[in-house]
Structure 1
Amino acid sequence: MSIGFRAAASGSGGNSVSVTIPAGVQAGDSLLLMVYVNTDCTITTPSGWQVAKAQQQAEAGGATAAIFKRLAQTGDASTNAVSTNDGAAGVKAGALLIAHSGTDTVDPVHAINSRLDTGGTASVPTPAVTTGVDGCWVVEMCTTKSSTTTVWSTVPAGSTSRVSLIGTGGGHVDGAVADRGPVTPGGYGGGTFTQDANQSSAISYTIALAPKTSTQTLRPVSDVTVGSYTAVPTPGAGVALASRIGEAVRDDNSYIQTPNAPSAAVYEARLAAGQDPLSSDDHTVTVVLSTAGGATSSSCAVALVQGTTVIRSQTFTDVPATPTVYTIDLTGAEADAITDYADLRIRFTWTAA
């Protein structure tokens, strides 16, 4: 899934600025919010948002700005993102929001950089960033302080203007956002925002959004229920049995084994914490099973468990002596039943024939 522009919005105010998240925003979209004020002040982080770039001041008495980020949740559309500041009465402030689909669901911001300018020109350069991931999307933002600007004339070459705002009155602040993508790994930024009059100070940003990864693998990381199970090779003191089956590269010489002649013998391991992929598709449990120790065959019930709730259980019978890969494909309903990807476990219940 590639990144795509979803929507944009703006808002203006004084000691409080509110931006309505566009109605078309969907859960999992990345949200970037630039908040800016025309004087030295402290900008608060909107509730539920994170700082992507801490606030900066272009110069004493100049513009102050900060960048915030959020992964959209169900119900975010048409709600307000509100930021306040402690500037003196009469301050002028603004905010611009841009949303994209298809971004990484852990942290959409792959790279970010900023540039401060003391003004005197109608052009504002953007800073450079370097991307190391194919398919990133480049977002450039700019805010200026001026008393005479009336329009944004151009945005960085190759980019599309998504949202802009011109303030009013003396010492007002303006904002603009443009983006482009997808791009190959390399250096980006260095473009120019221009206006129809000189500004007295400016802050610009270049942000690279990372694309959503196609695969997320949650491996066993700790023991929940051990019983009489043992591990081969024997782990050191304090080392979980799970370490023998949580390797990134399959190794059939490293494994966990049941007690002799098991009868409904249980071993359960906690899986590494994951992120909700916000999708009902492509959830697969993969295990490697084998029968050993002289048994002619065995059966194993493999269960994916969240806390104490079994999401899916499937029994494999006549497990052979040769290590064999078995998979369980979750249905959409089963995937939707997972509500906490930080509390998933894998449970094995073995019985010898």
Structure 2
Amino acid sequence: MQIEKEMENDMIWHLVWTIPTLICMISGWIVFARPQLIQKKTDQGRCVTIIIPARDEAHNLPNLLRSIDKQQGLTVEVIVADDGSTDGTRDIAREFNAEVVAVPTGEWRGKSHACHHGSQYAQYDTFIFMDADTVLSDETSLMRIIAQYRHQKNSGVLSVQPYHHTEKTYETFSALFNIVTVLGMNIFSLFKERGHTDSVFGPFLMTNRNDYRLTGGHRNARETIIEGMGIHQGYQDKGLPITLYMGYGVLHFRMYPEGLGSVVNGWKKHIAIGASNAQPWVMMMIMIWIGAGITLPIYIIATWFSSFGMIGLPLVLYLIYAIQFKWMCQRLIRLPWLLALFYPLYILFFFHVYGASFVRVHLFKKVEWKGREIDLKKNGRHFSDNRKDAED
């Protein structure tokens, strides 16, 4: 009788762990059930202007410009908007026959101003804005994206989140940030029709001259750290279509290759802002899913000491979560299978950086990026160029 009682207690104890864990994993599946990819159809014969905002991007530009040169079936004009670079950005751009325009110190500063200024020199009516660290995956990438834009009648804005190519282990610590960035937009969930997103992906935007001028384009991002939020608002106010896709197989980038410190500083700049702008119910489901990744190691340790004979159950759940983690990363970031097993480390790293970002953004009201301190004020942003000050 005593043995049966103990077995019953053990079963209840494991159900208390197992059922919530499975619910958490189902939450993760719900918010990432319908990922959108660029179709394989192509559209030839178009003329496009690619505008690249650049600030000390000599190390990134060659890869992007080579990938643009390889594009087939299109006439492409490339404009590099040089935002005060002190390296060889301008020289490299000219080596690839790109037009270089200097971004003046005007009414506002930063990437959005560089994009706006570069657009004024565009020869063609189809605009593509690309970050300097992005790369087109093959020679048909642009034709595929243009064909996708045609599905929305060449109107509004089309945005692509690049696939994150990693080469070193520390670069993979961006995995959970990539996941949260995409899931927080609520564009790939089972219930995306019931919600909405407040932003577009900043690394790649495609639009047309008329819509860009009508909406105000990057002018709407003057007061936002994440320029996609301002741009989204402008197109939404005019009732124009806004579509978002993942760049797997079409567009990729390599972020923060300079070391783990660059990963921390890069995501610390805006992850707290982006998370706070996600819909509460979406963010709640994301946190519920992440919660399982935190509790499973505790479940394993508790079972190890209390009922070792049942250790197989938490280990199986741990493996299932690792598979789900890898599945989510599959089309967002290169993460080897072996590293997916260490997902608790990625979760701890995420909360460490998110906490630092929250303090900087919401308490100190300041972030720093590429030598510029961005002061977050109620009435807008103030930039101070720390690099220039140091040189002076």
TM interval, shorter chain, is: under 0.3
Q: Which has the higher strand share?
A: 1
Please report the TM-score for the alignment, with normalisation by the length of structure 1: 0.26
Q: Which has the higher helix share?
A: 2
Larger radius of gyration: 1
- Bigger relative CO (Cα 8 Å, ≥ 6 apart): 2
Please report the TM-score for the alignment, with normalisation by the length of structure 2: 0.24
